Structure 1
Amino acid sequence: MRIGLLTSGGDCPGLNAVIRSAVLHGIKSHSDEFVGFRAGWKGLIEGDYFDLTRQDVRGLAREGGTILGTSRTHPYNHPGGGPEAMAAQLEHHQIDGVIAIGGEGTLAGAKRLADAGLPIVGVPKTIDNDLRATDYTFGFDTAISIATNAMDRLRTTGESHHRCMVAEVMGRHVGWIALHSGMAAGAHAILIPEQGVTMDQLCEWVEQVHSRGRSPLVVVAEGFIPEGAEEALAGKGADASGRPRLGGVGEWVTQQIEDRTGIESRNTTLGHIQRGGNPTGFDRVLATRFGIKALDLVHEQAWGDMAALRGTEIVTANLSAALDGLKEVPADRYEEAKILFGR
């Protein structure tokens, strides 16, 4: 078979590991040929691709980013897009199947195209870990490791100056990164989009910690909705796809703490460093297993399906199951972490 791969949406550690394992498995097990579409759906729509050989993917598992490039191009809204035009491109270039690697937006596009008859399978990718039908997505563990390391550093400088330190992490709609990195770093309060917390309660937790001579650490997801607001702070305009650019809630929380408690406070926004760099060992293994499974799905012609993790097993899941709402942090998981807040 002649198979195309694309990476779409935000970049993520582990993308190259998926590409490597799919290509190696296809070449060694089935004598397949591979092409890589440049810049996600844009490359498929415009027929912009290059051949992928064993030499091209050598050593890729440890490298962050994606050798294919990525974009937030919409497969239907982009000029020349849509199932008919894209099917014609695949036929013209003799491509028998496509492996689309991406998050919610990418997989939603893949499902629409598969429903329209295009030969597409998916691989779930997002540092936010917010996709249903899979226990974990690759990139999440790397983001947690990066955020935890940064918070460990914040705590040492906070303790030295007896300050409250606030770390803003990614998490537009869900708080998995904030929850896991906050618990790992021993945070004294964690604020996530799924749970409302008043500033009175937050300041109570901060004062409890400070009264014991400790430096409080507060972790806040960028999508946390402040008290009295109807939506997350988005004072940085919109990105190219029209989505609000979140950010600034960490600074807002810091000011609230300092004004209400008088405790000197500082904030740090971790931003895109959470999605950059080399993947952790866990993410390298998970991404590799996903790539192998995706290649198997292509040969099974299981169009509209994707690789998923259930427990420790890699299984097949339909894209519709992954897109049935976001996987939010359950209330009991937050209550579990909350036991350690403040005192």
Structure 2
Amino acid sequence: MEIKRQFRAFDLFAFMFCTTVTLGVLFLPYVSGEEIRSSWLKLLVVSIPFFLMLWLISLFTKRYPDYDFFKALKDHLWGWLYFVVIFYFIIGTILSAARVTNGLSEIVQVHLLKVTPEWMVLLPFFIIAGVGVYYGIIAITRFAVYFVVLEILVLLSVIVMAFFQDYFKWIFVAPVFSTDVVTFLKSSVSDMARYAAIVPTLAFLVYMRKGEAILAPMNLSLIMIVIIYSGLSLGVLGTFGFDHAMQLLSPITALTQSIETRTGLLERLDLLFIGFWIVSFYKLFIVHTWFMVYITKKAWPVVNQNLFIVIYLAVIYMLSLMTPEFIIDQWAFHNINLILYGFVMPTLLLIFLTLKKKRGTPKDDTNISS
């Protein structure tokens, strides 16, 4: 598989930001029915392990000059274990994609298309997503780069406007540890899962130009995500309070509905936000579908790439239709799955690979063109 290394540091920043932030924003600070009084504080704390993971990624790129994470796995793992890892990456991505696309259809049906069947809501989305994946990582990354500045501005604007509303109360946002330890830890797991979608970055690295910064853009991207997550949690809790926030399907959507302006210019900011979020979710979805196709091609180079685009999209589509509606237990499984395949397994593999090769040495890069 010939790879052209052409992306720069800002491309890495945009790619990582766009693959992560959409997943965690919509249901903030909802955490699977658990305690959310201190959600904004836990979002700060649980981000720390992911900064460690980013440091390990940077260390990996110094030890392996081709930046090819999955090639390194194939070289250093037993054959059967390598295919188990690839299989779990694929299964984990499919299960998470099915859960969140089900959430997408719920939001669209509640706020936009109330009488439209779920299959009809999702079908056009999947068709368009297939076209996006077909055009490959270059087109996907350009889309992310063009969209990232707008995405950050919109989310930060919502946060700022929420803070300046008359009914925002700072007394609601003080951290309160009024629950038992088990509940607190379970809700922390749910918050941690919001950051786990950075895993496709491992596949993106191989497209980075030599000499481009790696750690700095990743850290900056994660810092921006932490600021947005924590700011939105503060906005929701300060506006609605703990008890009301627990009853909302999408607190951030309810927050945009509550924002008022004197001119009435943004009277239906909620609809604008939902439309914006659907486009943002489309971007995230095609990135993770591309990720599955990429690692499939790495493991089995002879497979037909376009065929697997269709297969993966069809499987996710069917699972989305079979997934129950917004159920607490279903989200608990989703969160655990995200942490396992998006943080625990990549971190362990990165540690293994960096220990396996203590200092970088030139390798054969004949399969990579500059």
- Give TM-score scaled by structure 1 length: 0.27
Q: Find the structure with the greater CA-based Rg.
A: 1
More helix by share: 2
More strand by share: 1
- Give TM-score scaled by structure 2 length: 0.25
Q: Which has the higher contact order (CA 8 A, sep 6+)?
A: 2
